[in-house]
Amino acid sequence: MNELLTWILDIVQTVDPVARTFLAAVGIMLETSILIGLVVPGDTIVIVASTAVENPVQYISLVVAVVIGALTGESIGFALGRWFGPHVRRSRLGRTIGEDNWRRAERYLTRRGGIAVFTSRFLPVLHSLIPVTVGMSTMRYRTFMAWTVPACLIWAFAYVTVGSLVASGYRELAEELHFAGYIFVGVIVVFVVLVVVAKRLLQRSEAKHMEPDRGEGRQAPSDDLQPR
């Protein structure tokens, strides 16, 4: 186990730090762009890239790159929603996602406003649909950014920190403990399980804001979200 993990981590570390950071930024940009996030594993990209972090400069650089990539991707989604929203929604991929998911995103944004933008960063499917849905609403771009920037910061710091700390801890223990590899895998598995559980709890707590009810036609919580 140790030999295999060391080999994998060494391969990631052999990639030039600048190229590695750039690729992570591009990967997360695609993950947060409209609909692409449904197939591109952004969480995995960041975790893998963070295992090669060797010093504070690389750590901060990766966090900044991931945040910039995420914000760029969400900005692309916002722009597509603002300019081509209905066409995207009626496209083949938009229809594949399903009208129910689009309506859930609309209801969630209408009822929760900026909170929906913030929490969607941590919710499956919605993290790809909310940016374009915001673009189709009248929420201003600066308002959208004010809510999504802190969410992206929290997300980036959490994943880069866990990946870098676990990998560095493994390297320190690998030469002394023959089961260090199992500890590494165990910690990553525990982190993934905690993330999945947290996402499900968050989604469950917010579900009532996504489902249709008699109040669906009520006034939006913000002037920025009046129907276009």
What distances in angstroms separate CA 115 from CA 13, 28, 95, 120, 155, one per listed residue? 38, 22, 26, 8, 15
Taking the C-alpha atoms of residue 134 and residue 144, their distance in angstroms, rounded to an integer, is 8
If phi > 0 it is left, if psi is from -120 to 50 it is alpha, else beta; for residue 125 that is left
Asked, for residue 94, whether it belongs to a domain, the answer is: yes
Which is more confident, 10 or 219?
10
Q: Which domain holds residue 90?
A: 2-213
Q: What is the pTM of this model?
A: 0.77
Residue 133's pLDDT is 92
Asked, for residue 142, whether it belongs to a domain, the answer is: yes
Residue 185's pLDDT is 66
> What is the average pLDDT across 11-33?
82
> pLDDT confidence of 227, banded at 50, 70, 90?
very low
Asked, for residue 219, whether it belongs to a domain, the answer is: no
> What is the average pLDDT across 54-70?
93
- Is residue 83 pLDDT above 80, yes or no? yes
Asked, for residue 87, whether it belongs to a domain, the answer is: yes
- Is residue 71 pLDDT above 60, yes or no? yes
- 124-175 pLDDT, tens per residue? 778 888 999 999 998 999 999 999 999 999 999 998 998 888 777 666 655 6
Asked, for residue 224, whether it belongs to a domain, the answer is: no
What contacts 127, CB < 8 A, 6 or more positions away?
A: 32, 37, 120, 121
Residue 174's pLDDT is 56
> pLDDT confidence of 7, banded at 50, 70, 90?
very low
Asked, for residue 34, whether it belongs to a domain, the answer is: yes
- 208-222 pLDDT, tens per residue? 888 886 655 544 444
Residue 88's pLDDT is 84
- 170-191 pLDDT, tens per residue? 666 556 655 555 666 677 777 7
Taking the C-alpha atoms of residue 144 and residue 167, their distance in angstroms, rounded to an integer, is 35
Asked, for residue 193, whether it belongs to a domain, the answer is: yes
Asked, for residue 11, whether it belongs to a domain, the answer is: yes
State the DSSP code for 225.
G
Taking the C-alpha atoms of residue 19 and residue 17, their distance in angstroms, rounded to an integer, is 5
Residue 6's pLDDT is 56
Domain count, the chain: 1
- Contact between 77 and 135 under an 8 Å Cβ cutoff? The reply is yes
